[in-house]
Structure formats: structure tokens, C-alpha cells
């Protein structure tokens, strides 16, 4: 039975089409729908909109449903439309008419809003932990290989000396900036839309600040119309932040594929991490990095996809928004898996130590020779002309020692400073207070017998 049922016989084909994949996707939102309901009825009780004696049995039953959802035992029935309907139906089956009171001053529109925010907060916390692991892996590799030189490229032509310390460290710092962007999005996600009802508030004297505190939100989405306008907008902002992480991972993977090839031979994966060919017995393919690269390209398409789904909608709720879940919810598992596998693969990578002994890379030191002449008193343009002539005549040689001392260069990687930048970005996330608030809400229900 639908929450909006008015006794009209529904068309089965229309019902199947409009429900879509909600029963499948909403299972991921079930624990958060329960938490939102627990906060809502606690607020109703404290404002006198729900009899005080009704609160305890409702909270106890909701805690049972929450535990079943966390354990993976929660099921949405074939005749139930979505997670909101299933939770209310289970309460009604267990408690009778008492279960029908939980929807007072609430709409499924603001239920899905708060579910998405709560779900996203939890998934961001998980992702941040995985970004941290990859960051630490990259920094460790940067330190381990800081003295191993490699050629740097512009236009995919040999340019200047680089190092594996510099290469690994570049992606570590990129993750620090990605985390900074995700922290800004966290501030948007960590606001409470609950109480906006269908997008125009309620004549009931509800206390939205109370549900904000109960759910551990830092602030409210105050304007109820804007709270509804956040649907799609919030998911797109989150997807854009995750696209930044995907861009970093994808570019790292592209480099790794290139450097692993025989034409470069800069690094190699253990044989156990490569795949073979059904026809060419010599092949050891870096499929792990190729798949990371492709996954990351797909992830970067999610934000514009959401934009296309919502870009021409006026204010207010529309059913179009239901489909956002299909592209949004899988974003988190896919990103987390990529972060895990990237860290694991990088831990197995070894780098070639003698790359710059190859005469093909001799000209990478041309700028070093120009700079040496400048330091000896030759004007830069004249030094450039002299070295250019040596190269044209096939007479260029370099036997000096590299001396890069400025911040962020081969000889001064600034890894501690990059780590400090990462920690600053990490400190923006208020996971502790959020989890404490949610645990207090669960504890208010007591442990189900």
C-alpha cells in the first residue's frame, strides 16, 4: 500500500515504471532514513506534537529496524514503494496506529533530502580515510625514491631532469588539494534540510534547530524552498569534488601505464599484478592501471550527467530527481575501490634506478648547462645560444652535479610541508561530533531486546 493511496486502482505498468530501481537503491539509505525518523519523532515529542509516552516504543522499534538495516537484513516489499514507506509500514505492523504518527509535519520530499545528506556524510568519512592511505603511500614512495632521477617531459618530449620523489610527491599534493575541495563540499552536506516538508514548510510548530542538533548537523538549510532546491544540486557538488579525486587517480594511472611500457621502462609491477595475452606469451599488461584510468574517466562524467538531469527544472520537487540516485549512489563504492587498489598497486611498484645513464636522455641536462654558464657570469641569452649550438653540432656533454635547492624541487621536495597542507584539509571534517550525535540518538532508543 502506498503512503499516498486514496483508494484508486493503480495501473501496474505505470507503477513499475515510476518505482523504477528505488527498492534496490533505497536499501543503501535505510539506516539513514531510520536515523532521520528517530530525530523527527524526538522533536515531535519535545514540542508536544507527539504524546510523550509514545516516543519510547517508537524509538525501540526504530532501533530494531536500524540494526536490521546495518546488518543487511532490511527488505523493501514488492508492494512497497520506497524506503520511507517500508519503515513506516514496519512500525505500523509492530505498533499499530502508533506507527502512523511518525509522518506528522513531514514529507517524503524532505525525508529523501535528509537521507541523502546523512548517507553522503557517512560515505565522505569513509572516502577521506582511503584518500589518507593513498596520500601516505605516495609520500612514502616520494621519500623512498627521492634520489632516483628520471626525465621530465613537455609535449611528451624529453625536457629537464625530474625524479621519482618529485613524481610521487606531485600526486600526493594533488590529493591534498582534492581533499580541500571535498572539505568545502562537506560544509554544504553537513546542513539539515529536514523540516522543509514538501518544500514550503509546515504550519506545525516544529523545531528544526533541534533535529539539526540531534543529527549532528553543523547548520540548517534555512529557507525551505532552497532546501528542496538542494536536491540534485548537492549531489552534483559532491560528484564534482569526487571528480577531482578521480582526475588525480586517472592521471597517475595514465603515467603508470606509460612508464611501465617497454619504450619507457621506468617502473614495473610485480608479475603477480599483471595480466597476460591469450596469443602473445611475453605480455605482462598493467591492466590494473588501465582500468583505474577508465573508471576515473567515467566518474568525472557523473557531475555533468546530474547537471543534465536537473538543469532545466524550475524550483520545487519533480520526479525527475528520483533518477539521480542511479548515478549518484554508486559513485562512492567505485571511488573507494579505486583508492584502495591504487594504494595497493603502488606499494608493489619498483622503479628503475639508472634511467638517466641512457644517452637518449642526455639533452635533459641542457638547461643545467645553461644555468651553470649563467652562474659563471655569461648572460642568459648568450649561454642559451652557446648550448644550443653545441646541441646542433652534436657536441653537447654534461658531467656536472644537479643542484636544485628551491622549495618543491628535486633537491627540496617539501614533503613535510605537503603533509601539513593535507592535515589542514583533513582537520576541516568534523566526523567526531557527527558520530557522537548519531550515537547519542541511537542510545536514546536503548538496545533492543
**Is residue 1 assigned to a domain?**
no
The CATH number of the domain where 241 resides is what?
Answer: 1.20.200.10
Residues 282, 187 share a domain: yes
CB atoms within 10 A of CB 381: 10
Question: Could you give the CA distance from residue 68 to residue 56 in angstroms, rounded to a whole number?
Answer: 19
Looking at 104, 119, 153, the residue that finishes a domain is 104
Residues 400, 297 share a domain: no
Residues 393, 288 share a domain: no
Residues 90, 208 share a domain: no
The CATH number of the domain where 92 resides is what?
Answer: 1.10.275.10
pLDDT digit string (tens) for the chain, length 449 residues: 555 455 666 766 776 766 667 777 889 999 999 999 999 999 999 999 999 999 999 999 999 999 999 999 999 988 888 899 999 999 999 999 999 999 999 998 999 999 999 999 999 999 999 999 999 999 999 999 999 999 999 999 999 999 999 999 999 999 999 999 999 999 999 999 999 998 889 999 999 999 999 999 999 999 999 998 888 899 999 999 999 999 999 999 999 999 999 899 999 988 888 787 778 888 788 889 999 999 999 999 999 999 998 888 888 787 777 889 999 999 999 999 999 999 999 999 999 999 999 999 999 999 999 999 999 999 999 999 999 999 999 999 998 788 899 999 999 999 999 999 999 999 999 999 999 999 999 999 876 54
Question: Could you give the CA distance from residue 66 to residue 33 in angstroms, rounded to a whole number?
Answer: 9
Domain extent at residue 370: 359-413
Residues 164, 202 share a domain: yes
Residues 343, 398 share a domain: no
**Is residue 7 assigned to a domain?**
no
CA distances from 261 to 255, 282, 334, 364 (A): 10, 13, 26, 20
**Is residue 5 assigned to a domain?**
no
**Is residue 285 assigned to a domain?**
yes
With beta carbons less than 8 A apart as the criterion, state whether 373 and 355 touch: no
Residues 305, 271 share a domain: yes
Looking at 104, 131, 156, the residue that finishes a domain is 104
**Is residue 33 assigned to a domain?**
yes
Q: Read off the pTM.
A: 0.92
**Is residue 447 assigned to a domain?**
no
Residues 369, 353 share a domain: no
Looking at 104, 136, 153, the residue that finishes a domain is 104
pLDDT at 199 (0 to 100):
85
Helix, strand, coil tally for the chain in percent (to 5):
65, 5, 30
**Is residue 426 assigned to a domain?**
yes
Residues 232, 93 share a domain: no
Domain count, the chain: 3
Residues 251, 114 share a domain: yes
Residues 155, 40 share a domain: no
Residues 196, 69 share a domain: no
How far does Cα 126 stand from its chain's mean position? 9
C-alpha cell at 26: 533505497
**Is residue 347 assigned to a domain?**
yes
* Exposure of 442 in the CB half-sphere (CA atoms within 13 A): 19
Residue 350's H or E segment, with its range, is: strand 350-351
How far does Cα 29 stand from its chain's mean position? 17
Amino acid at each position: 500500500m502506498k503512503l499516498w493511496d486514496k483508494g484508486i486502482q493503480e495501473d501496474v505498468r505505470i507503477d513499475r515504471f515510476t518505482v523504477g530501481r528505488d527498492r534496490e537503491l533505497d536499501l543503501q539509505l535505510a539506516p539513514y532514513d531510520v536515523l532521520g525518523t528517530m530525530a523527527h519523532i524526538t522533536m515531535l515529542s519535545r514540542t508536544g506534537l507527539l504524546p510523550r509516552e509514545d516516543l519510547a516504543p517508537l524509538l525501540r522499534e526504530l532501533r530494531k529496524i536500524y540494526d536490521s538495516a546495518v546488518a543487511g537484513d532490511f527488505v523493501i516489499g514488492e508492494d512497497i514503494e520506497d524506503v520511507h514507506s517500508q519503515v513506516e509500514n514496519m512500525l505500523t505492523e509492530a505498533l499499530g496506529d502508533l506507527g502512523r504518527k511518525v509522518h506528522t509535519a513531514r514529507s517524503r520530499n524532505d525525508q529523501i533530502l535528509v537521507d541523502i545528506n546523512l548517507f553522503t556524510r557517512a560515505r565522505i568519512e569513509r572516502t577521506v580515510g582511503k584518500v589518507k592511505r593513498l596520500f601516505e603511500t605516495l609520500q612514502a614512495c616520494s621519500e623512498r625514491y627521492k634520489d632516483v632521477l628520471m626525465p621530465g617531459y613537455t609535449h611528451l618530449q624529453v625536457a629537464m631532469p625530474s625524479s621519482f620523489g618529485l613524481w610521487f610527491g606531485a600526486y600526493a599534493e594533488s590529493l591534498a588539494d582534492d581533499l580541500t575541495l571535498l572539505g568545502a563540499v562537506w560544509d554544504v552536506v553537513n546542513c539539515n534540510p529536514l523540516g522543509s516538508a514538501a518544500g514550503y514548510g509546515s504550519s506545525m510548530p516544529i523545531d528544526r534547530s533541534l533535529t539539526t542538533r540531534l543529527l549532528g548537523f553543523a547548520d540548517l538549510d534555512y529557507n525551505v524552498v532552497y532546501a528542496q532546491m538542494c536536491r540534485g544540486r548537492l549531489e552534483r557538488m559532491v560528484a564534482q569534488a569526487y571528480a577531482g579525486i578521480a582526475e588525480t587517480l586517472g592521471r597517475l594511472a595514465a603515467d603508470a601505464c606509460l612508464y611501465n611500457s617497454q619504450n619507457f621502462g621506468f617502473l614495473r609491477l610485480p608479475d603477480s599484478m599483471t595480466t597476460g595475452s591469450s596469443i602473445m606469451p611475453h605480455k605482462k599488461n598493467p591492466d590494473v592501471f588501465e582500468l583505474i584510468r577508465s573508471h576515473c574517466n567515467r566518474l568525472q562524467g557523473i557531475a555533468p550527467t546530474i547537471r543534465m538531469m536537473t538543469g532545466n527544472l524550475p524550483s520545487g520537487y519533480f520526479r525527475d530527481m528520483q533518477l539521480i540516485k542511479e548515478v549518484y549512489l554508486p559513485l562512492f563504492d567505485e571511488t573507494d575501490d579505486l583508492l584502495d587498489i591504487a594504494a595497493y598497486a603502488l606499494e608493489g611498484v619498483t622503479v628503475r634506478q639508472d634511467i638517466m645513464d641512457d644517452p637518449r636522455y642526455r639533452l635533459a641536462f641542457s638547461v643545467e648547462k645553461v644555468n651553470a654558464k649563467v652562474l659563471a657570469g655569461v648572460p642568459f641569452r648568450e649561454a642559451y645560444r652557446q648550448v644550443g649550438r653545441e646541441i646542433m653540432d652534436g657536441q653537447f656533454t654534461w658531467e656536472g652535479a644537479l643542484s636544485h635547492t628551491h622549495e618543491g624541487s628535486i633537491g627540496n621536495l617539501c614533503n613535510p610541508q605537503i603533509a601539513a597542507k593535507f592535515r589542514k584539509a583533513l582537520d576541516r571534517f568534523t566526523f567526531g561530533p557527527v558520530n557522537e550525535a548519531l550515537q547519542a540518538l541511537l542510545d536514546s532508543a536503548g538496545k533492543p531486546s
